[in-house]
Amino acid sequence: MGYNEPYVLLPFPDLGADCSVLLKNPQLLAPSEITPEDVPLDDKGQPVDPQGANEAMYKVMAKIIVAWKVYEAFAADLPQVDPDADPADVLATLQAMEQRRIGAVTPENVGRLPLAIINRIGEEIGRVADPK
């Protein structure tokens, strides 16, 4: 037997028909697995280093992501755009470029995910961390 649904599949059909992220079910994780490293806070309770706070959360996310099918949203080698080019033509050129899959699940690669995916993973974790 065992637990029901030890994994959660998050599809992202609005981003792409085949985009998805498979997570360990946050409901079944020990608190230590979803608690980010401590980051220094200012007198208003905000992180002194917001990037450091993001990186701490990316480490948590990387630990619970089992697999993903996600892509680089934009090509690293965008072509030079003529200032007089028709935007519709530029769009057609850019859309024809291949989007490469993001590689292994690492905190650095989590930080490269689209905000929509990061937010959705955060929602899954937040439901357990702060149930209402």
Q: In a structure prediction context, what are the per-residue pLDDT tens digits for the chain, which is 132 residues long?
A: 789 999 999 999 999 989 999 999 999 998 888 888 888 888 888 888 888 889 999 999 999 999 999 998 887 777 788 899 999 988 888 888 888 899 999 999 999 999 999 999 999 998 886 655
Q: What is the pTM of this model?
A: 0.82
The reply to whether 1 falls in a domain is no
- Tell me the residue range of the domain where 52 lies: 7-129
The 10 Å Cβ neighbour count of residue 44 is: 5
Q: Is residue 110 part of a domain?
A: yes
- Within 13 Å of residue 108, how many CA atoms lie on the same side as its CB? 2
Q: How many domains does the chain have?
A: 1
